[in-house]
Amino acid sequence: HSVPRAAWLLGLPDPVTVPAPAGTLDPAALDEALTRIPGPHLVVATAGTTDAGAVDPLPEIAGRCAAHRARLHIDAAYGGGLLFSDRHRTKIARLEAADTVALDLHKLGWQPIAAGLLTVKDTDDLTALHHHADYLNADDDTDAGLPDLLGRSARTSRRPDILKIAVTLRTLGRHGLGALVDRVCALAQDFAALVDAHPRFELHAPPTLSTVLF
């Protein structure tokens, strides 16, 4: 849903959809597309699909992107919360191989909506955000040690949405949030087992994250 709209806003060609017969991106099909279609390439993989919570094979995808010198963006809006869990974080192994990662803590972060974050491997990717305008970038604020938030978002005016994330992280910490992630994933497995054992229901597939489809 987001990728075609982003491409349109940026004036890029329509995205190429790579086959995902099992609900996750097929690395062989990705390799074929990267070989066939002239670059430069930007590959978008998913760590936690909205409908099923499926996670693309990130290590294999990262390898294909490296071989073709393609940039890799991982949409971890849903699955990124697994980073808090020592038990489940291996499901999104090689997340660090991405050039950029999208996170959204209103999912496995227990935040209200508007808690999205973009992380970048190379801070030079954010250079365009550091455009200076005298009426916006007050030198006396910078000299006083006040943070310049203009270089941290594409928006100029914004609500202080980061405050709720900061309060939650300060209160619960990584281990507190990890315990919540472990709990909901365990509940999903328990519920899936009940559905699978019920004669009037059919389980679509074992849950990967906290989503149960039946």
Token digits for 73? 């963006």
Query: What's the pLDDT at 68?
Result: 97
Give the domains, in start order, of the chain with CATH numbers: 2-197 (3.40.640.10)
Which spans in the chain are helix H?
2-10, 27-36, 58-68, 139-143, 162-197
Query: What's the pLDDT at 22?
Result: 86
pTM recorded for the entire structure: 0.90
- Tens of pLDDT, residue by residue over 84-136, are 999 999 999 999 999 999 999 998 999 988 888 899 999 999 888 888 777 77
- Tens of pLDDT, residue by residue over 24-83, are 999 999 999 999 999 899 999 999 999 999 999 999 999 999 999 999 999 999 999 999
- If residue 182 lies in a helix (H) or strand (E), which one and from where to where? helix 162-197
